[in-house]
């Protein structure tokens, strides 16, 4: 269970990083858009944080995709 838990956070973080980079946003600019701190974004992207659905919602908004689509992308990655 712990392994899966870590895996979810790590894969979620990697996905967020990839989408952020695809939008040509720095961690700092992305953090501003999310209303979060840059170091917190860094920790999320490294999968070091257990994030709430509210935080996930802020990230999705800043990435201009619905939260459901963010998780759909995550599920597609986890299938592979």
Three-state secondary structure call for residue 16: helix
Residue 56 as a binder of a second copy (CB under 8 A): the answer is: yes
Shortest Å distance, C-beta 54 to a second copy: 5
Surface-to-core class of residue 36, CB atoms within 10 Å of its CB (0-12 exposed, 13-18 middle, 19+ buried): middle
Residue 80 as a binder of a second copy (CB under 8 A): the answer is: no
Q: Which is nearer to a second copy, 12 or 30 (CB)?
A: 12
Three-state secondary structure call for residue 42: helix
Shortest Å distance, C-beta 57 to a second copy: 6
- For 38, residues 6+ apart whose C-beta sits below 8 A from its C-beta are 27, 28, 31
Interface ranges with a second copy (CB under 8 A): 1, 5, 8-9, 12, 35, 50-54, 56-57, 66-69, 71-72, 74-75
């Amino acid at each position: 269970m712990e392994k899966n838990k870590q895996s979810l956070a790590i894969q979620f973080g990697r996905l967020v990083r990839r989408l952020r980079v695809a939008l040509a946003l720095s961690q700092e600019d992305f953090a501003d858009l999310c209303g979060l701190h840059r170091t917190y974004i860094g920790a999320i992207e490294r999968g070091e944080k257990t994030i709430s659905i509210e935080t996930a919602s802020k990230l999705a908004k800043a990435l201009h995709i619905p939260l459901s689509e963010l998780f759909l992308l995550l599920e597609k990655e986890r299938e592979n």
